[in-house]
Amino acid sequence: MQTYNIYYESALTFHLLPMDEINSAKSVLIQIFSGSSSHTMLEKLVREIRVFFPDAVIAGVTTGGEISDQKLTSHKTLISISTFKKTKVTSLSIDAITPDSSTEAGRIMAQKLVKKDTKLLILYTEGLYVNADDFLAGVNETAPGLPVCGGVAADNGKFFETFVLHDDKILSRGAVGIALSGKQLNIQNESIEGWEVVGPALNISESEKNIVYEINGQKAAATFRHYLGDHFVDNLPKSGFEISLVFEQDGCLLNRNVVAITSDGALVFTGNVPKGSICRFGYLDRNKIVSESFYGLKILNDTHIESFFIYSGMERKRFLKEISAKQVDLFANAASVSGYFGYGEFVHKDGKNCLQNRSCSVIGLSEGRGSPDTEAVCMLVHDREESEIQRALSHLVTVANRELDEKARQLEMLLSYLPAGVIYYDNNLHITLYNDLGLTYLGLNPDNENFRDLNTLEDGWIVTLFKETLAQNESIAGGAVKDSSDGKKSYIRIKTVPLDQDGKIAGAMALIQTEGKL
């Protein structure tokens, strides 16, 4: 296997390549990483490539930056040509994919491409309309455990128009898959992360796919404003590259960037954020990435890497360009390197494939013959010269998060033992914390989807009391309520206390007691 990288300027560019040698190979894969989203330019490019390389598989994606050997570039068009002596390369594209059809499109892609000897599946999805999370889920259902790499198309942070390319087609609502198959093909992979997790636990109380409506019972945008400030929310999607949501799903720690805010205060993310997920804020830690620098693929015996494909989150280039360049240099010193920065990357780790937004997925390929008793391994070498201040700060963040979790658990346990009902609610009359007695006395059923919304209470005097507390001081009132279990009425007494935060009312607490059935 051999990979040639060249930046496209015109048709004359191809005369700099050994075309006879390339065209005589058993299989040829041409990957296009274009920093331009010009449809006209891309059409011209694929036509020219087909003329010079008539039998090659052509696939590509628009980018937020290009990776070529020891270069990181922007707004350039990189053409990466890989030749194989013993590997079969097949490809497929699917167009007109919608968010709702993304899973099925992934199933179809895997069903048609994956064979018994397939070693790697490279996937590119359009970046604004195709749900890459669901698309990958469809692939995983059909070909579980098969390593997947590649990523999501980008347009340099504009979020206006992205494309994927296949043969002579430029797709604005599609996906492309490339299968590499053959017994002699060796695949090694690793993902570089380097993010730090901070802040309180955030419960995704209402979401649908990649749109989050409520966090901790409040509108998602309001929660982000509370913790991250007006500047962050008002500068989306640009600011969304800086801080993300991190949560665990099926044993994978996932990272999601926010790219838009809707008119009703919901947040749109680059991947799915399931309802009920417990999230924290995450950011790329410059020092942590340095301390976990990827020092290269260490090879056992006679197995060697002939080419590296690298797929990275765009924010790594935007905010850590110098560090990213050094990491790429490590690979380029060993073999040819090509790839791109996008709006998401497919990562294979611990036998599972997932969509990430801030990782760097590295794939090492070779057609060399390795010893049957050993395999190439990816080794992550830690820099032992980590500064004391960085070690102390990391420890501080870890301990602070642990203590926040412990205090939350203690509060929940305390509420469960109280002989009275307790609820906490925000300024929108959404319940943020409660015990079972609190819901029972108010006639609320936690199985109902909107049970946290106090505005839906049938007993108007309670709603009035809760609203007045937010505008005034603590209050006490009593009255009859209807029990949701048997329909009978009970008399309850409620004491409410407003909660002050930085001199402003941020909600209230209600203590509820009952004097029995009437």
pLDDT confidence of residue 313 = 86
Q: Which of 456, 469, 451 is nearest to 505 (CA)?
A: 469
pLDDT confidence of residue 209 = 92
More confident: 410 or 123? 123
Domain residue ranges of the chain, discontinuous segments joined by +: 2-183+332-352, 195-284, 387-417, 419-517
Containing 276, the helix (H) or strand (E) segment is none
Note the pTM of the prediction, 2 decimals: 0.73
Report for 57-71, 76-90, 320-334: range of highest mean pLDDT: 76-90
Q: Which of 38, 39, 32 is nearest to 8 (CA)?
A: 32
- Whether pLDDT at 124 is above 50: yes
pLDDT confidence of residue 155 = 93
- Please state which of the four CATH numbers 3.30.450.20, 2.40.10.120, 2.30.42.10, 3.40.50.300 is assigned to the domain occupying 419-517: 3.30.450.20
Contacts of residue 31, Cβ cutoff 8 Å, sequence gap at least 6: 59, 60, 79, 80, 81, 82, 122, 309, 338
Q: Report d(CA 488, CA 480) in Å as an integer.
A: 10
CB of 197 closer than 8 Å to CB of 281: yes
User: Pairing state of beta strands 345-349 and 2-7?
Assistant: unpaired
Longest dimension (CA), the chain: 94
Percentage of the chain modeled with pLDDT above 90: 45
- Whether pLDDT at 327 is above 80: no
CB of 29 closer than 8 Å to CB of 81: yes
pLDDT confidence of residue 93 = 97
Mean pLDDT of 280-304: 54
Q: Report d(CA 478, CA 510) in Å as an integer.
A: 12
State the average pLDDT for the chain.
83
Q: Residue 264 has which token pair?
A: 């009703």
pLDDT confidence of residue 181 = 96
Contacts of residue 134, Cβ cutoff 8 Å, sequence gap at least 6: 99, 102, 103, 106, 209, 272
Alpha carbon distances (Å) from 200 to 221, 397, 399: 16, 11, 12
Which of 239-243, 297-301, 509-513 comes out lowest in average pLDDT? Answer: 297-301
Q: pLDDT of 487-504, one tens digit each? A: 677 888 999 998 887 778
- Whether pLDDT at 210 is above 60: yes
Which of 133-147, 221-235, 310-324 comes out lowest in average pLDDT? Answer: 310-324
Q: Rg of the chain over CA atoms, in angstroms?
A: 27
Q: Which amino acid is at 56?
A: A
Mean pLDDT of 241-267: 88
> Which segments of 229-343 does DSSP mark as H helices, in order?
230-234, 286-291, 314-319, 321-332
Q: pLDDT of 405-442, one tens digit each? A: 666 666 667 777 678 889 989 888 988 888 888 888 88
CB of 117 closer than 8 Å to CB of 86: no
Q: pLDDT of 138-180, one tens digit each? A: 999 999 999 999 999 999 988 899 999 999 999 999 999 999 9
